[in-house]
Structure 1
Amino acid sequence: MTDFSANLGFLWTDRSLPDAIRAAKAAGFQAVECHWPYDTPAGEVASALAETGLPMLGLNTRRGFPDKGDNGLAAIPDRRDEARAAIEEAVTYAAAINAAKVHVMAGFAAGEAPHAVFVDNLRHACALAEPHGIGILIEPLNRYDAPGYFLQTTDQARRIIEEVAAPNLALMFDCYHVQLTEGDLSHRLADLLPIIGHIQFASVPDRGAPDHGEIDFAHVFGVIADLGYNAPLGAEYKPGRPTEETLAWMATLR
């Protein structure tokens, strides 16, 4: 049986983060994850997690200033100090709520200098997170939703993970992004399994619930199970209507 994690960056966004955690528990999810929880005191989130018994699988570093076009900072050479501050904030918050992993967002950049600063910032993140038992994740984003994002493919991510060479650095494999950029999900999952730290999903091309679109998630989830991956899979989709009205897939795909 497949376990699922509710990504509260997209699901139950009409509620406070603690109440969204409670809603995920009531809906039958086995874990939760989020994007940017920083406006909610860590103690309130920790209390909701303790109340529900749900683990928090991960959170993201801040994007910077989204209203000015930022989507992460860690690969932008002239914003190293901001990137380090975002990493330290994320690790501190994750430790306070016992979150398993932090996704370090790269930002919009290209070239050798962004590569070098991203590697350097990831080494810093891994060293900072390691004493807390926290993993660091990096995630390629597709060219349609995030044109110009530094990290674009799983091959690029693998090279960076090998270069950083930290045991707590891994790949966030988002089926939605990988399908749009590379396709061939079954083979990519098998090939990348040793470096995968978390798997997310949504329908393609609309990023909705996984009950429609061009991906057969019954097949994909079967491949994941056959590979021996047994951590909860992250439901990071845009519901488009009240979240409870979109959850029929949980019964059919579990």
Structure 2
Amino acid sequence: MIRLAANLSMLFNEHAFMDRFAAAAKAGFKGVEYLFPYAYAADELRDALNKHQLEQVLFNLPPGDWDAGERGLASLPGREGEFRDSVIEGLRYAEALNCPRVHAMAGLLPEDADAATQAEHHATYIRNLRFAASEAAKVGREILIEPINTRDMPGFFLSRQAQAMAVLEELGATNLKLQFDLYHCQIMEGDLIRHLERQFSAIGHVQIAGVPERHEPNVGEVHYPAIFERLSALGYRGWVGCEYRPLAGTRAGLGWGEAWGLTTH
């Protein structure tokens, strides 16, 4: 059964952030995700989840200075202390919100990074993820890693599915999983169903959006009903995060999801 989660950083932006929980529940969503919770008290977020009978399914660890263009800390040499602090803070929120998984964004490579620089980032990434997985295991949480396309996020350290799978294999932590975003994978590599099949045992969360403009999933080149059918056949029981930018109002564009419990009314 496909379970859809609203990404509140992208959907229902016609409402103030704390009002998006009610809007998501009214539209038929049972779960929510978003980029970051840290601007709000954990108690306030938990109350919103409880009030609207929603599950918190995902958010990101603190990413560094987002407004200045940073996109994660996990692979950045010299920022290990800050990364460790971000893990502690993220897991504190995860426990308070009963969220089973958090995403550790890899961060950006310097422009024109040579092989030695890339190797240094890889070594830092492995060390940091080992720490994050160990800390998360103590509180029964998962750490996710996500390949992100380099068109939307130039220089992002983790951009290919094989690269992510090699990292997971190198670390071998049972609570370190793949965040499989079909939008990013289609842009970088395509062949979505075969990627899902090959990597299925490693997948901890799935996200969707239309390609190439990142609008509703029924707009663009990916046929999501076939993707959902294959996910169900594979036995996927996790959440599917709807991380797209609505063409118009969020509610008006939810017709694509009526077969999976969403409503435009």
**Identical amino acids, percent of aligned pairs:** 39
Contact 2:61 / 2:87 at 8 angstroms: preserved in 1? yes
1:119-138 counterparts in 2 under 5 A?
A: 119-138=126-145
1:222 matched to 2:229? The reply is yes
Shift of 1:168: 0.5
Structure 1 segment 158-237 matched on structure 2, within 5 A: 158-237=165-244
Aligned to 1:117: 124
Distance (Å, rounded) in 1 between the aligned partners of 2:77 and 2:181: 26
1:18 is matched with which residue? 18
Q: Which moved more, 1:78-87 or 1:184-193?
A: 78-87
The AA in structure 2 aligned to 1:85 is D
Number of matched pairs: 254
Contact 1:36–1:60, Cα closer than 8 Å, also in 2: yes
Q: State the secondary structure of the residue aligned to 2:78.
A: helix
**Aligned equivalents of 1:197 and 1:47: distance in 2?**
26
Normalising by structure 1, report the TM-score: 0.96
Q: Which residue of 2 aligns with 1:31?
A: 31
8 Å CA contact 2:3, 2:260 repeated in 1: no
Q: Give the TM-score normalised by the residue count of structure 2.
A: 0.92
- Cα deviation for residue 213 of structure 1 reads 0.2
Q: What amino acid is aligned across from residue 237 of structure 2 in structure 1? A: N
Runs of at least 5 residues in structure 2 that lack an aligned partner in the other structure: 110-116
Q: Indicate if the aligned counterparts of 2:209 and 2:215 stay in contact, CA closer than 8 A.
A: yes
Deviations 1:50-89 (A, max 9, x none): 1222211111012211333211111010211121222221
Partner of 1:248 in structure 2? 255
Matched, 1:142 2:149: yes
Aligned residue in 2 for 1:88: 88
Greater CA drift, 21-30 or 6-15: 6-15
Output aligned runs, 1:92-103, within 5 Å. Answer: 92-103=92-103
SS of alignment partner, residue 57 of structure 1: strand
CA contact (8 A) 1:210 1:249 kept: yes
2: distance between equivalents of 1:251 and 1:193?
26
Unpaired segments ≥5 residues, structure 1: none
Counterpart-to-counterpart distance in 2, 1:156 and 1:116:
13
Instruction: State the Cα distance separating 1:16 from its structure 2 match.
Output: 4.1
Letter in 1 for 2:44: E
Partner of 1:55: 55
**Aligned equivalents of 1:31, 1:218: Cα separation in 2:** 20
SS state at 1:6 partner: strand
**Paired amino acid for 2:228:** F
SS of residue paired to 1:210: coil
Residue identity opposite 1:38 in structure 2: Y
In the aligned structure 2, how far is the partner of 1:15 from the partner of 1:148?
Answer: 32
CA distance in 1, matches of 2:16, 2:124: 35
Which residue does the alignment assign to 1:44?
Answer: 44
